[in-house]
Amino acid sequence: MKALILAAGVGSRLAPLTNDRPKALVDVLGRSFLLRQLDRLAAAGIAARDVVIVGGYRVDQLRATLAREGLPCTVVLNERYAEWNNFYSVLAAEKALAGHAYVQLDGDVILDEKLLPRLLAAPGEVALAVDVRPELDEETMKVRLADGRAAAISKQLDPATCAGEYIGITKLSAAASTAVFAELARFPAEGLTHEYYEYAFDRLMSSGRVPFSIVDVHDCSVLEIDTVADLAVAEDILRRRG
């Protein structure tokens, strides 16, 4: 099992903290998103040598941090991070991950020790980590179920029809990852360079070509930090948690 961390974005809403570094290297109580995720992956049995990190904005800082920490991760460059949406960060990692099962993480989430072991133990071709809850809004990446499986994923879905929020963490089999990469590769020719990678998931699950299941992580702690205000709240939560 390998891992993919998407860390190419600028993180402009966290400025000025991101003026000189990518969002993944912003410190949260003295330890960055990236190093916290690598800690969790290592604890779940995925060593740094099996981790692929997609960088873009200030990728030099990513490489320097990994070298300083002695972490032999593979860094892949998304040269279109400023023009295209994050589908291309996943596609940029295809060569490094071809033929492998992997767990994929958005680079701006802090997760507790329970989530990754639960996700990795889940059966099936693709398992989406979903916070199953009724309170969903327009900005939430929502997941709709049919017959117990994920049938659609999008921010545009009607919240009343959805099971919960996809939190940006996924486990994929080798066969499923091949299908996802093939789907993402179609986006540029179709003029879909504005799309999130989740749109490839949506196309595959709605067509029935790949079965998607969900793992309910509502009882796990997941912190997504987009703004300086979010950071202050997250640090307070982590401080109280000890």
- pLDDT at 215 > cutoff 90: yes
Where residue 240 falls among pLDDT bands split at 50, 70, 90? confident
> What is the average pLDDT score of the chain?
95
Burial of 128 (0-12, 13-18, 19+ CB in 10 A): buried
- Both tokens assigned to 5: 């961390």
Please enumerate, as own/partner, the contacts of 56-59 that have beta carbons within 8 Å and a separation of 24 or more: 56/7, 56/8, 56/9, 56/22, 56/80, 56/81, 56/82, 56/89, 57/8, 57/9, 57/10, 57/11, 57/18, 57/22, 57/81, 57/82, 58/20, 58/21, 58/22, 58/25, 59/8, 59/22
Query: CA 80, CA 225: separation in Å to the nearest integer?
Result: 23
Q: Return the SS3 of 2.
A: strand
Count of domains forming the chain: 1
Mean pLDDT on 117-138? 94
CATH code of residue 157: 3.90.550.10
Q: Work out the angle between the directed axes of helices 174-185 and 198-207 (0-180°, nearest 10).
A: 110
Domain that residue 106 falls in:
2-241
Query: Global pTM?
Result: 0.95
Per-residue pLDDT tens digits for 144-184? 999 989 999 999 999 999 999 999 999 999 999 999 999 99
Q: What is the largest CA-CA distance in the chain?
A: 49
Q: Are strands 2-7 and 51-55 parallel, antiparallel or unpaired?
A: parallel
Per-residue pLDDT tens digits for 84-124? 999 999 999 999 999 999 999 999 899 999 999 999 999 99
